[in-house]
């Protein structure tokens, strides 16, 4: 008893369905898509997804997720071989 190992790697999956903005049902995936389409500021993110346009408590988290997505996109673009 107590020696059981629980596989708890579910947080490592990349399905990005976590809600960042509850008021407008904006997920990490929505922010990822917005970043891939060129969104690069909170103002653009608000316009594109509706994030932060009601209570506004999600704005800081939305900004952080957008920053991470932009960094990921940049890293992926740099990793692609030049033609």
User: In the bound complex, what is the minimum distance in angstroms from residue 42's beta carbon to ligand FES?
Assistant: 12
C-beta closer to ligand FES: residue 25 or 74: 25
C-beta closer to ligand FES: residue 54 or 76: 54
Residues near ligand FES (CB under 6 A):
21-24, 51-58
User: In the bound complex, what is the minimum distance in angstroms from residue 59's beta carbon to ligand FES?
Assistant: 7
- In angstroms, the CA 63 to CA 36 distance is 15
C-beta closer to ligand FES: residue 27 or 80: 27
DSSP the chain: ---PPP--GGGG------EEETTTTEEHHHHHHHHHTT--SHHHHHHHH-TTSSS-TTHHHHHHHHHHHHHHHHHHHHHSPP-
User: In the bound complex, what is the minimum distance in angstroms from residue 25's beta carbon to ligand FES?
Assistant: 9
């Amino acid at each position: 008893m107590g020696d059981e190992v629980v596989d708890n790697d579910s947080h490592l999956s990349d399905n990005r369905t976590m809600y960042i903005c509850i008021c407008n049902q904006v997920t990490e995936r929505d922010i990822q898509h917005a970043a891939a389409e060129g969104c690069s500021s909170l103002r653009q993110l608000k316009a594109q997804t509706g994030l932060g346009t009601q209570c506004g408590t999600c704005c800081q988290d939305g900004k952080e997720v957008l920053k991470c997505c932009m960094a990921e996109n940049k890293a992926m673009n740099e990793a692609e071989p030049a033609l």
